[in-house]
């Protein structure tokens, strides 16, 4: 992507390593996911409709504003930050934001800076990401079959992603593959994906489809409960639950036969909201306290109202004080999406 050539970094005060944010249910909020763009170069069938209307560019926060907002969150107790989207690597100049946020890794204020990507552009940026302090990436990949990949992503090519994985590995990035479990699509390929991912030295995490946004088809046709997938895998592999955590919602097992780690993200069959440590910021400065609820706080107005960060810090405190207990996802015939916005808006 083209670079904008503009400096991103804004001056910040020192970060208090003891700063924390706690919600009304006693959960500490230490993880921020930032959707840096709602745009994407793929149109995955479970994520987007083919014909999407994206935000006008003028509504987006600038990279400088995103950096300032993230910095306020870090000052308030965020320790892990994940850039996502849409496809984060299609946002113009995104590496400037990554480099700028990397300064918080150097001071130790931030423990980890990561990103979730579809892998289409990663080969171009892998070395620079490492240079900015990124150590781990999640690459979304639901199948190893090129035709199926083209059908799922509508616009993607498997070859691009494979090239990116190779480049990311060479650059020294740890890789986790995220695969959405899809009934009748990759349902009987999961075993092969597990063997492949672990053979390559990647972790693999399986995800249940969530009812977010209209996608132009019935989600009941896609939904595959991971309880069933796990049961099937357990017939062939020894799955040993382990305490490993990355800060996200996945629960991990080690797989004796492959020596690798397998994660399950089960918003439908096993709700994990009681341990939720996350909030999500969109590219317009809207803060969602829960992926599956409509309540949100606008941080763009307080950010722009003053050069200092007091107003935005207050708005964040107020938002965290009403973080809901959890989501109410239901997938069924004629069930409406839990929320009207797509996963690409809030960021996965």
Which residues does residue 89 pair with via DSSP β-bridges, in sequence order?
none
Binding positions for ligand SF4, 45-74, rule CB under 6 A: 47-48
**Two structure tokens written together for 285:** 């400065």
CA separation for the pair 10, 289 (Å, rounded): 25
> From the DSSP assignment, how many helices (H) and strands (E) are in the chain?
11, 12
Nearer to ligand SF4, 122 or 319 (CB): 122
Pick what 178 binds: ligand SF4, ligand SAM, none; C-beta below 5 to 8 Å, kind-dependent: ligand SAM
Q: What is the CA radius of gyration of the chain?
A: 19
User: Which residue has the closest beta carbon to ligand SAM?
Assistant: 348
CA atoms within 13 Å, Cβ hemisphere of 27: 21
For residue 207, state whether it binds ligand SAM (rule: CB under 6 A): yes
Q: Are strands 203-207 and 174-180 parallel, antiparallel or unpaired?
A: parallel
The mark string for 95-134 relative to ligand SAM (x by CB under 6 A, - otherwise) is ---------------------xxx----------------
What is d(CA 137, CA 174) in angstroms, rounded to the nearest whole number? 6
Smallest separation, CB 95 to ligand SF4 (Å): 19
The answer to whether 215 and 47 have CB atoms below 8 angstroms apart is yes
Which position among 109, 113, 180, 319 is part of the footprint of ligand SAM (CB under 6 A)? 180
- Report what 204 binds from ligand SF4, ligand SAM, none; CB cut-off 5-8 Å by kind: none
Q: How far is CA 311 from CA 208, 260, 316, in A?
A: 38, 46, 9
For ligand SF4, give the closer residue by CB, 210 or 331.
210
Name the maximum alpha-carbon separation found in the chain.
59
The site partner of 212 among ligand SF4, ligand SAM, none (C-beta below 5 to 8 Å per kind) is ligand SAM
Compute the distance between CA of residue 236 and CA of residue 168 in angstroms, rounded to an integer: 30
Nearer to ligand SAM, 63 or 139 (CB): 139
40 or 185: CB nearest ligand SF4: 40
* CA trace torsion 104, 107, 110, 116 (10° rounding): 50
43 binds, among ligand SAM, ligand SF4, none (CB under 5 to 8 A by kind): ligand SF4
Shortest reach from residue 43's CB to ligand SF4, in Å: 5
Q: What part of residues 82-141 is at the interface with ligand SF4 (CB under 6 A)? A: 85-87, 118, 140
- Rounded (10°) CA dihedral 36, 66, 3, 42: 0
Interface with ligand SF4 by CB under 6 A: which residues? 40, 42-44, 47-48, 85-87, 118, 140, 344
Interface with ligand SAM by CB under 6 A: which residues? 40, 46-47, 84-85, 87, 116-118, 140, 178, 180, 207, 209-210, 212, 343-344, 348
């Amino acid at each position: 992507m083209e670079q904008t050539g503009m400096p991103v970094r804004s001056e910040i005060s020192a970060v208090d390593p003891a700063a924390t944010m706690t919600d009304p249910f006693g959960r500490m909020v230490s993880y921020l996911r930032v959707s840096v763009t709602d745009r994407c170069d793929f149109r995955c069938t479970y994520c987007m409709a083919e014909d999407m209307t994206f935000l006008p560019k003028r509504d987006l926060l600038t990279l400088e504003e995103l950096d300032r907002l993230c910095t306020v969150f870090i000052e308030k107790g965020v320790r892990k930050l994940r850039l996502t989207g849409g496809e984060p690597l299609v946002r113009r100049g995104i590496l400037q934001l990554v480099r700028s946020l990397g300064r918080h890794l150097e001071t130790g204020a931030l423990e980890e800076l990561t990103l979730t990507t579809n892998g289409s552009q990663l080969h171009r940026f892998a070395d620079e990401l490492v240079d900015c302090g990124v150590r781990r990436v999640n690459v979304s990949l639901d199948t190893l079959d090129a035709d199926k990949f083209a059908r799922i992503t509508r616009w993607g090519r498997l070859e691009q992603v494979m090239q990116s994985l190779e480049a990311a590995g060479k650059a020294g990035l740890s890789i986790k593959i995220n695969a959405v479990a899809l009934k009748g699509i990759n349902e009987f390929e999961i075993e092969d994906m597990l063997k492949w991912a672990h053979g390559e030295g990647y972790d693999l995490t399986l995800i249940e489809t969530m009812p977010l946004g209209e996608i132009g088809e019935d989600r009941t046709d896609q939904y595959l409960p991971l309880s069933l997938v796990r049961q099937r895998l357990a017939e062939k592999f020894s799955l040993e639950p382990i305490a490993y955590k990355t800060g996200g919602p996945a629960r991990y097992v080690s797989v004796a036969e492959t020596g690798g780690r397998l994660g399950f993200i089960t918003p439908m069959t096993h709700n994990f909201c009681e341990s939720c440590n996350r909030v999500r910021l969109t590219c317009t400065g809207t803060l969602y306290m829960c992926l599956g609820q409509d309540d949100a706080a606008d941080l763009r107005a307080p950010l722009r109202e003053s050069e200092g960060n007091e107003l935005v810090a207050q708005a964040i405190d107020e938002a965290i004080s009403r973080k809901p207990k959890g989501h109410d996802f239901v997938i069924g015939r004629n069930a409406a999406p839990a929320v009207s916005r797509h996963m690409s808006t809030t960021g996965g």
